[in-house]
Amino acid sequence: MRRAKPLAILGVALVVLAANDAAAQTVPRDFFRPAPDGSRDYDPDRLYPHGRIFPLGFYGLNLSRDMIEGLTLIGPYGREKNVAAASEHGLHCTYSVSLPMGFHDAKPLDLTPDEIRRRIGEQVREVADRPEIAWWYLAPEELRYWRKKEMTYLEVAADAIREADPLDRPVWMYDPNHRNAAALARTVKHLDVCGKGMYTNYAGHYSFAPGSRAAWSGARPCGSMRRRWP
């Protein structure tokens, strides 16, 4: 009976090793297993968030010069030309909605919330039936969250777009490169798309490695987004 103990211990050891080996083989399978596709039931012909198409566009796109192979979104700047180009090429586009507020001028335009709501709503209703428009691009951009009048404009204008759009398309405004998650959270609470600059050679920071600068900048929106869209 005494001689059976080493065999029993060896048997236990082999069982443990086999269990550990099975667990070790499960780790890489779990790691590489695709995440559940939350958009599998979305429309394959529409742009996110209403469809499965990923929005891919170019800032400064020149339609008379540049090829659009691979693009899915024309914008961000532009109105009727964007719609016409999207219709011609079977793509989607943004549509700029704005008022000449002149927040950086000596005498900015002084409008009441009702006036902002009316004038923004008129712009949206004029083209709300165009299926090519996927997102609304709200301007002026880079609105400063510490300026009360600018935040009032952002909130009222964004709400006016939604009120005038029966298709519930998202509202986007560009935020500047240097804003962190806390700053972005102050503006994105009125928006549906958080978009900010990610310039690899941002002015005054040329000593940063482009990759690290892009990683820092690109991570900021992740900490500020409200989860309106899945």
pLDDT tens digits, 159-216 = 999 999 999 999 999 998 888 889 999 999 999 998 888 776 655 655 554 444 444 4
Instruction: Look up the CATH number of domain 39-223.
Output: 3.20.20
Q: Any residues with CB less than 8 A from the CB of 180 and at least 6 apart, and which?
A: 220
Supply the pLDDT for residue 138. Answer: 97
pLDDT of 217 higher than 50: no
The 3-state DSSP class for residue 191 equals coil
| Cα 180-182-184 angle, rounded to 5 deg | 65
DSSP 64: T
pLDDT of 226 higher than 60: no
Which has the closest alpha carbon to 78: 66, 60, 90?
60
- Residue type (1 letter), 163: E
Mean per-residue pLDDT of the chain? 81
